Amino acid sequence: MVASFSQSKQQNQTLAQGAPTQADTKRRQTMQLAWKSYRGELQDPLKVAQGQPNDNVKVNRCAPIADKSVSFLFNQTLKIECDDQDDLDAIWGDDDDKMVRLVKLATNGVVCGQTFVKLIPQEDTYPRMVVLNPMNVRIITLPDDCDRHIAYIIEYPLGSQLQKRQIIARVDPNRELDELEDQDIQDTWTITNYTRKGDSGNWMQKGVLQEWNYPFPPVFTCQNHIDPNEAWGLPSLSPDLIEMNKVLNFILSNIARIIKYHGHPKTWVKGIRAGQIQIAVDETVVLESDNAAIGALAAMENFAGLLSVVDDLRSSMDELSGVSAFALGRLRELPKGNISGVALRLLFQSLIEKTILKQRLYGKLIREVSCAALVLCGAISVEEYANYPIKLHWQNLLPEDDLAAAQTALLLQQLGVSIDTLLQQLGYNSKDEVKKTQDEAAQKLQNSTQEPDQLQLPGQPPMQQGQEQQGAAA
């Protein structure tokens, strides 16, 4: 635990000179493998002889699974609302900027198991949100509480010879981190930068220690899937899923090689030397011996056993990832006919359950980052940070029948459900719809009080004052 400012400086120096732990090194190697699998940088399952074409089959099932997981979470626009809406909209940007940033966060989480975003204050404007590469970040926690983060270490190369390490450490002046909640209003953080040349040697401090006088750090993080006893979460592209993809490619490559060598009839002869036989497409086969015989080996036609293993592997990957073949659009697996809403939810049940859990994890991150950004830009005070309300409006995960949804909304309204709730369920912004309705009612009232010759037709430019007077004089 970081007990004081002076101890914080000592801790920063200790963290700066300390090497990554064995667990950190192993985790980084796992993330490297996951990124290669996601990007389709797959190894050849079978060796290729020199001078022979590469007949390996490399199917990347990891990328579609990861992309579909992200798509279910952040495909539709997420509405973030608070009392300081104008400031919050300026921080996140328009819908395109906001959703692209969230997709980047979710993709990092799906591949690496943990996602990070950093707030960088700007003079006379709103803070920047920077999506960090999880491979460059390490988390330091209390020995007996993995949820209490006391430091973040960000390390990355600045070139071929120079490396940078940034230590973001908590300062706990009251030594109450064990007793109080994670966000103590009196806690602050420090930021110290170090550099070194090459992969070895001592880290040298660059610049002075910076004080971050806020109870929250500049770095925010969340798990992709819950790992209750670790600070780092679980990735959607888990090592066992990647290994199953390798096995799938091994079997498919073997099938391709079998077809290459045994997928067509093969002619054989006996009782004659090779030089005594003449075979051509447009010529007659001549055997210059009475004891000679010729025949053909039948091509291998039954691949049902091998293909059943392939189907089993695909099904196992679907079960492990929670992304079914229906979600990935495999036409052979898609059900036929009109599908009810209940049946559709059952088909996507596993993916829906995982996505709802991710909404909890990523939603907490979004609220924390939003509140911290509002503090940095001066929209709210530090004291309001912990309990400032941020509302997230998630869209429906599955497509709905608009007519059935509207009929259901009318029935729910008769049962007493508010119009605000129903509009949000239908994907509308209730405040915007109320304002538009009021504006339309006001326009209708204005039109009803005007003379017939003063009515403004749709698409007609507004009448100028001089034109109104001329009309009145006429």
For residue range 341-363, list pLDDT tens digits in order: 777 788 888 999 999 999 999 99
Residue 387 has pLDDT above 80, yes or no: yes
Mean pLDDT of the region 268-285:
70
C-alpha distance from residue 424 to each of 72, 388, 428 (Å): 18, 22, 5
**112 neighbors 8 (Cβ within 8 angstroms):** no
143 and 288 share a domain? no
Query: Three-state SS across the chain?
Result: CCCCHHHHHHHHHHHHHCCCCHHHHHHHHHHHHHHHHHCCCCCCCCCCCCCCCCCCCCCCCHHHHHHHHHHHHHCCCCEEECCCHHHHHHHHCCHHHHHHHHHHHHHHHHHHCEEEEEEECCCCCCCEEEEECHHHEEEEEECCEEEEEEEEEEEEECCCCEEEEEEEEEECCCCCCCCCCCCCCCCEEEEEEEEEECCCCCCEEEEEEEEECCCCCCEEEEECECCCCCCCCECCCCHHHHHHHHHHHHHHHHHHHHHHHHCCCEEEEECCCHHHEECCCCCCCEECCCCCEEEEECCCCCCHHHHHHHHHHHHHHHHHHCCCHHHHCCCCCCCCCCCCHHHHHHHCHHHHHHHHHHHHHHHHHHHHHHHHHHHHCCCCCHHHCCCCCCEEECCCCCCCCHHHHHHHHHHHHHCCCCHHHHHHHCCCCHHHHHHHHHHHHHHHHHHHHCCHHHCCCCCCCCCCHHHHHHHHHC
* 164 falls within a domain: no
* 283 falls within a domain: yes
For residue 55, how far is the Cα from the chain centroid? Answer: 33
| Closest among 116, 175, 182 to 386, alpha carbons compared | 182
Pair of tokens at residue 23: 């667990």
28 and 123 share a domain? yes
pLDDT of residue 281: 66
Residue 94 has pLDDT above 50, yes or no: yes
pLDDT (tens digit per residue) in 162-207: 899 999 999 887 666 555 555 566 789 999 999 998 877 788 999 8
Q: Grade residue 432 by pLDDT with cuts at 50, 70 and 90.
A: confident
Q: Grade residue 229 by pLDDT with cuts at 50, 70 and 90.
A: very high
Q: Grade residue 453 by pLDDT with cuts at 50, 70 and 90.
A: low
Q: Grade residue 6 by pLDDT with cuts at 50, 70 and 90.
A: very low
pLDDT of residue 15: 77
More confident residue, 465 or 103: 103
Mean pLDDT of the region 124-146:
93
HSE-CB at 447 with a 13 A cutoff on CA atoms is 11
C-alpha distance from residue 119 to each of 36, 125, 131 (Å): 28, 13, 9
pLDDT of residue 467: 54
41 and 136 share a domain? yes
Backbone phi, psi, residue 151, to 5°: -165, 155
310 and 291 share a domain? no
Domain boundary among 355, 378, 398: 398
Q: What percent of the chain clears pLDDT 90, i.e. is strictly above it?
A: 47
258 and 393 share a domain? yes
| Closest among 306, 220, 321 to 263, alpha carbons compared | 306
285 and 343 share a domain? no
Instruction: Label residue 211 left, alpha or beta by phi (over 0 means left) and psi (-120 to 50 means alpha).
Output: beta
* 220 falls within a domain: yes
Q: Grade residue 97 by pLDDT with cuts at 50, 70 and 90.
A: very high
Residue 5 has pLDDT above 50, yes or no: no
387 and 250 share a domain? yes
Residue 240 has pLDDT above 90, yes or no: yes
Residue 143 has pLDDT above 50, yes or no: yes
293 and 305 share a domain? no
Q: Grade residue 16 by pLDDT with cuts at 50, 70 and 90.
A: confident
pLDDT of residue 2: 36
pLDDT of residue 4: 41
Backbone phi, psi, residue 278, to 5°: -125, 120
pLDDT of residue 193: 93
Greatest distance between any 2 Cα atoms in the chain: 122
342 and 427 share a domain? no
Determine how many CB atoms are found less than 10 A away from the CB of residue 386.
Answer: 15
Q: Which amino acid is at 30?
A: T
* 465 falls within a domain: no
pLDDT of residue 216: 93
pLDDT, the chain, mean: 84
Point out the least confidently predicted range of 128-132, 271-275, 331-335.
Answer: 331-335
* 209 falls within a domain: no
Pair of tokens at residue 443: 């326009």
Separation CA 32–CA 49 (nearest Å): 29
Domain count, the chain: 3
More confident residue, 245 or 17: 245
Residue 120 has pLDDT above 90, yes or no: yes
Hey, which residues does 139 pair with through a beta bridge?
A: 152
More confident residue, 59 or 302: 59
pLDDT of residue 463: 57
pLDDT (tens digit per residue) in 66-82: 999 999 999 889 999 99
Separation CA 94–CA 87 (nearest Å): 12
Domain boundary among 379, 398, 417: 398
- The full length of the chain comes to 474
Separation CA 295–CA 299 (nearest Å): 13
* 198 falls within a domain: no
Please state the pTM of the whole predicted model.
0.80
| Domain span at 437 | 400-452
What's the burial of 270, exposed, middle or buried (CB within 10 Å: 0-12/13-18/19+)?
exposed
Residue 409 has pLDDT above 50, yes or no: yes
pLDDT of residue 168: 94
Separation CA 169–CA 191 (nearest Å): 7
* 389 falls within a domain: yes
Separation CA 422–CA 396 (nearest Å): 12
HSE-CB at 1 with a 13 A cutoff on CA atoms is 15
Point out the least confidently predicted range of 11-25, 152-166, 185-199.
Answer: 11-25
258 and 348 share a domain? yes
326 and 408 share a domain? no
283 and 376 share a domain? no
* 386 falls within a domain: yes
Residue 40 has pLDDT above 90, yes or no: yes
Q: Which amino acid is at 172?
A: D
HSE-CB at 295 with a 13 A cutoff on CA atoms is 6
Mean pLDDT of the region 412-417:
89
Backbone phi, psi, residue 385, to 5°: -60, -50
